[in-house]
Structure 1
Amino acid sequence: MNYDITDIISDYPDVHIGVLIGEKMDNTNKISEIRRLQKQAIHYAKAQIGDQPPIKHSHIHSWRELYRSFGTKAGDYRPSAEALIRRCIKEGEIPRINNAVDLYNLVSVKYIIPMGGFDLDHIKGDIRLRYSSGGEVFVPLGSGNEEETYEGEVVYADDERILTRRWNFRDADATKITQETNSLVMFLDASPAISLEKVESALHELRKLYKRYCGGEYSTFIVGKDNPVVEIWD
């Protein structure tokens, strides 16, 4: 299985994406300290944002600019990290879903980097970050209602379906990570304002958390203009 960003990288040459592959994971263990880890992540994010509105933080502002560049109204459709951080600030906690999702959400909050992932056993063919031709069917997470992409929208897709709309706004239901997931792929989407070092640190922390709490085997990659296609899974 390849991950391919060739279609969009000439327009976004300063974007780089961290990729984590997890295999032989156990996503059913109880993590007694998850709330403590989440609170630490929220505290860390608040310290970075300070008293300013979240949109003033360079990571979030940069992602809003990227959304506008491919025709998405950033105020109506927020990048995933912004939406999650706003919820954390309002409610004081990160919503619980399952271990694998909870752990990547807290890393996303801590580093203010949009992240998303898929159950590899439900992926068909290669994964591409590409422009949509428009009118492609998408069924969002937690919904049975079909949507259609617009022409020029940046999407994640495999050979059969749209996996994520508006780059990292919303994932598909068919490839969601569940408690039964034992093989997954994670993407850490870094806009130009997010340094390569920050992505590497977030990848390292995510890998460490997964190894500690889910067991399994992991590999990581950084994808960008110098290597827009990588083989990520046999």
Structure 2
Amino acid sequence: MQKIIVDPEFWEIFPDVEIACMTARDIDNHDDSNVPDNLIQHANEVAKKWVPDDPISANPVVHAWREAYRKFKTKKGARNAVENLLKRAKNDKGVGNINPVVDVYNSVSLEYAFPIAAEDLDNIVGDVHLTVAKGGEPFVPIGEDEPEEALPGEVIYRDEQGVLSRCWAWRDSSRVEATDNTKNLLFYMENIQPDRKDDHTEAGEQLIKRFKDYLDIDINDLTIISKDNPEFVFNN
């Protein structure tokens, strides 16, 4: 049995966070025949509604994540992944097409302004912990070959082999990257704003709907992790 487990050290810093978790299985990440041609382009346009003000940090979604990142140790310049997506959309340099799976979850991330991680479930070793790093946990980011180490006090996702996501939801590990050959995925999507609970629920439901409509994948294990429900079983 494999789980996502959110450790007590995390809840001490962020007691109100909720995380939508789910899995998608038996994926064919080569077939984009049912994915709308303008899916990601449309999402980039919708995303602009979340960041109308300048500077970008003045917008509530970005401001909330900036404030959260001040509560733990981060690598210099690290920003939450959703800020990067929104910034690109705002500057008319929106994210492009990558592969069917990534395009579908990026479209939801952009339209609802939540960070979504999609990790290759088959490359995860043991349980996944959302925790506070002791320091020195190994990490190789997507697109790079040189290893890094997590900082003491940094919020990370990790498994038994190393870090899956640095600075909470900044950069993901190349080891669990969703590639063209990925067959099974583990998703997690964080909400740090209690007043956006309904948006968070809708985003999770929309991700499920788009996987069914565009990729013919059934997702039926959506679970919301919270301080009172800190675990999600993703492999029995």
Q: Secondary structure at the match of 1:232?
A: strand
Amino acid at match of 2:188: F
The runs of 5 or more residues in structure 2 that have no matched partner are none
Q: What TM-score do the two structures reach when normalised by structure 1?
A: 0.93
Give the 4+ runs in structure 1 shifted more than 3 A.
31-35
How many angstroms does 1:125 deviate by? 0.8
Q: What TM-score do the two structures reach when normalised by structure 2?
A: 0.92
Once the two structures are superposed, what CA deviation does each residue of 1:138-184 show, in whole Å capped at 9, x if it has no partner? Answer: 11101110111110100001111110100000000011001111210
- 1:18 maps to 20
- 2:205 maps to 204
Amino acid at match of 2:55: P
- 1:192 maps to 193
Kept in 2, the 8 Å contact 1:2–1:127? The answer is yes
Q: State the alpha-carbon separation in 2 of the partners of residues 29 and 70 from structure 1.
A: 40
- 1:225 maps to 227
- 1:127 maps to 128
- 2:50 maps to 48
Kept in 1, the 8 Å contact 2:74–2:167? The answer is yes
Once the two structures are superposed, what CA deviation does each residue of 1:73-95 show, in whole Å capped at 9, x if it has no partner? Answer: 67x11110001111222244322
Q: How many residues align?
A: 233
Q: State the alpha-carbon separation in 2 of the partners of residues 189 and 34 from structure 1.
A: 26
Correspondence 1:59 to 2:64: no
Q: Secondary structure at the match of 1:212?
A: helix
1:1-150 paired onto structure 2 within 5 Å: 1-7=2-8, 8-31=10-33, 34-72=36-74, 76-150=77-151
Q: State the alpha-carbon separation in 2 of the partners of residues 51 and 61 from structure 1.
A: 11
The runs of 5 or more residues in structure 1 that have no matched partner are none
- Identical positions, percent: 32
Q: State the alpha-carbon separation in 1 of the partners of residues 155 and 53 from structure 2.
A: 32
